[in-house]
Amino acid sequence: PLPGAPPPVAPPTPPPVTLRGEIKILHLKPPIVVRDFAIALGLKPFKLISELNQLVGFAAMNSTIEEPIAQKVAEKYGFLLEIKHRGDAAAQQAAAKEKKAKKPEEDEAAQLAPRPPVVCILGHVDHGKTSLLDAIRKANVAAGEAGGITQHIGAYQIEHNGRKITFLDTPGHAAFTKMRARGASVTDVAVLVIAADDGFMPQTEEALKIVLAEKENHPERFALVVAVNKMDVKGANLDQVKKQMQQRGVAPEDWGGDTITVPVSATKNQGIGDLLEMILLQTDVLELKANPKAEATGVVIESEIDFGRGPLATVIVQRGTLRVGDAIVSGPNFAKVRAMFDDQGNKLKEAPPSTPVRVIGWSGTPESGALFRAAKNAREAEALAEEESLRLKKAATSAAAAPKEVTVEQLFANIAATQAKVLKVLIKTDVFGSSEAVRTILEGTKSQKVQLEIVSIEVGLVTKNDVLMASAAGAIIIGFHTKLENGVTPLAKHHGVRVETYDIIYEMGDKVREMMADLLDPDIKENKTGAAEVRQVFPLAKGFVAGCLVIEGKINRNSSARLRRGRELVHEGRIATLKRFKDDANEVRAGLECGIKLGDFNGYAAGDVIECYEIVKVRAAL
């Protein structure tokens, strides 16, 4: 350097990268800034910014990147990202704060105020649960605001005669047992929908078990209302449904029981007002109250990643009031509430008890059914979430390292598993709740012949990176209630990756079972196609031909055939010649005469029966 010139500025030092086997571990400390992250990945900043703009809507050189987004980008470039948070001392301090925060607080009677009921609509698929919820919402939304009812946040609040009612939109299929059970745990009133023409069905029975268990555990704060839907259809039988209810221990009020039963027609909009009145009546009996001035606590209904706004979660406030700017924590995730929206997309500044809201500002996607609670500030919320994350990691490590006793049965099962065929699936869903439901139905698809391996299950669009991952793993991509990113279809075709998308979960489950069965060798089945009785034997220049009457089905040329004499099998081969009079025939049906020659066989006798059959391959059973 020239005399007096400033010393050269050293280029930024890339963060340390370590190897764990063949995996490259990238170590970073929060906050993760775009400029630093680009250097760490060995990318030009503008390239990273371009990618982030597609994922989160906007990014600049000094922007901070959410950890889940950073993890995804790092994985794309071959790194496993490990975030170095504050150390053990801070974790212990956080644990102490968490313990203190977990102490239950008792509200004095003077602090309590009436709150709206939280209602969960349950029922068998196709019994009109969704139609009923739509009818309730349409009755509450003005004609000019009809577009608002298309917003899906998993929970909705309506107003009837000046009083609010919150509804949970929980799916009606049996695979959503976990979600429904969790839904019932935050529910004050369960509405069991039963079709008037069908009565009780498998999912109806399942939903009733969940409701009765909750009612037994909390009789003082839980009620059941039965809505008998489809009263307008042919075959509707209200008395039959009431009889089935009585047989299951939930007799209607007019049959001497205590279960309120309301006949409705969701499609004709009949009985909706009566149903809402009965829900409010039960609310008065339960005397539902909460302290609106306490720190906010509640339950996460569902979560997702919005590629414009980052992780989102729909929550229901159970106690206290949640406000924009509050810091909250749920398990290993935390949020500084940047914005809140209701089901019609309206911005809210605060959410009192029993209010469902979509919250923006999460560090990740909290689990459906998980509790959330307020923290003093964002720093405390992050510390509490970090402590829970560390606890979960330690628990997982301990469980993996713990010695396991293996029984003889388990040993043979493990051996069988290594010999079984494997269907690998990579799953993308719209929201976290759907991920859980898909996992539930797939884990219930068990077979000793074919193993089902879930390579990955995440929220979001099916991306090109998913195709590359599926190609490397030899997996099929399944999208549930989600769409494909531009360019996915041709890339999947190029790599030979099968991509399936579904909107109905039981259709997805059936298709996965079919794909598993298709991995097995097909079963061979023999179908009888026809039979002919030999009436007379005619000599030919070479050999003999059997003059026959077709007595069953049809006889086809080149068909596989066997000749029986009484119970004895005399010959087995194929039909070489089939004639009607002197003309060749491809097929002769029952009641017609024909001439049959079985290859080189010549030992026909009157009274013999020639049976024809075909060999078909059928999908093997799991």
Task: Report the C-alpha gap between 323 and 350 in whole angstroms.
Answer: 4
Same-domain check for residues 317 and 282? no
Same-domain check for residues 284 and 302? no
- Among the three residues 518, 547, 570, which one is the final residue of a domain in this structure? 518
* Whether pLDDT at 146 is above 60: no
Residue 11 lies in a domain: no
Residue 139 lies in a domain: yes
Residue 4 lies in a domain: no
* Whether pLDDT at 263 is above 90: yes
Same-domain check for residues 485 and 529? no
The confidence score (pLDDT) of residue 479 equals: 93
- Domain of 475: which CATH number? 3.40.50.10050
The confidence score (pLDDT) of residue 176 equals: 41
The confidence score (pLDDT) of residue 259 equals: 92
Number of domains into which the chain is organized:
5
242 to each of 200, 247, 338, 498, how far by Cα in Å?
10, 9, 49, 48
- Domain of 550: which CATH number? 2.40.30.10
Residue 8 lies in a domain: no
Same-domain check for residues 243 and 171? yes
Contacts with 573 (C-beta within 8 Å, 6 or more apart), sequence order? 560, 561, 562, 598, 599, 601
The confidence score (pLDDT) of residue 441 equals: 83
DSSP codes, 478-539: EEES--BPTTHHHHHHHHT--EEEESSHHHHHHHHHHHHHHTSPPEEEEEEEEEEEEEEEEE
Among residues 163, 167, 164, the alpha carbon closest in space to that of 153 is found at 167
Considering 7-16, 331-340, 425-434, the range whose residues carry the highest mean pLDDT is 331-340
Locate tokens 């996915």: which residue? Answer: 488
Same-domain check for residues 127 and 275? yes
Same-domain check for residues 325 and 281? no
Same-domain check for residues 171 and 143? yes
Q: For the chain, give the mean pLDDT.
A: 82
Task: Report the C-alpha gap between 76 and 26 in whole angstroms.
Answer: 13
Among residues 254, 269, 1, 7, the alpha carbon closest in space to that of 138 is found at 269
- Among the three residues 233, 256, 289, which one is the final residue of a domain in this structure? 289
Angle, helix 45-56 to helix 67-76, in steps of 10 degrees: 120
Q: What is the mean pLDDT of residues 564-583?
A: 92
Contacts with 148 (C-beta within 8 Å, 6 or more apart), sequence order? 141, 343, 344, 345
Same-domain check for residues 320 and 455? no
Residue 94 lies in a domain: no
At 552 the three-state DSSP class reads: strand
466: number of Cβ within 10 Å: 27
Q: Note the pLDDT tens digit of each residue in 358-417.
A: 999 998 888 877 889 999 999 999 999 888 888 877 766 655 555 555 455 555 555 455
Q: How far apart are the first and last CA of the chain?
A: 76
Q: Are strands 297-306 and 289-290 parallel, antiparallel or unpaired?
A: unpaired
Same-domain check for residues 284 and 385? no
Domain that holds residue 68: 17-83
Same-domain check for residues 323 and 277? no
At 408 the three-state DSSP class reads: helix
Same-domain check for residues 530 and 611? yes
Bridge partners, residue 458, by sequence: 428
Residue 31 lies in a domain: yes
Task: Report the C-alpha gap between 508 and 514 in whole angstroms.
Answer: 10
Q: Please tell me the least confidently modeled range out of 77-91, 300-314, 369-383, 445-459.
A: 77-91
- Among the three residues 496, 518, 540, which one is the final residue of a domain in this structure? 518
Residue 7 lies in a domain: no
pTM over 0.85: no
Same-domain check for residues 159 and 259? yes
- Domain of 146: which CATH number? 3.40.50.300
Residue 303, token pair as written in the block: 């979560």
The confidence score (pLDDT) of residue 334 equals: 93
Q: Note the pLDDT tens digit of each residue in 79-108.
A: 888 877 654 444 444 444 444 444 445 677
DSSP codes, 223-252: EEEEEEE-TTSTT--HHHHHHHHHHTT--B
DSSP state of 265: B
The confidence score (pLDDT) of residue 12 equals: 52
Q: What is the mean pLDDT of residues 125-141?
A: 77
Work out the burial of residue 151: count CB atoms within 10 Å of its CB; fewer than 13 is exposed, 13-18 middle, 19 or more buried: middle
Q: What is the mean pLDDT of residues 322-349?
A: 93
Residue 429 lies in a domain: yes
Task: Report the C-alpha gap between 397 and 402 in whole angstroms.
Answer: 9
Task: Report the C-alpha gap between 460 and 306 in whole angstroms.
Answer: 8
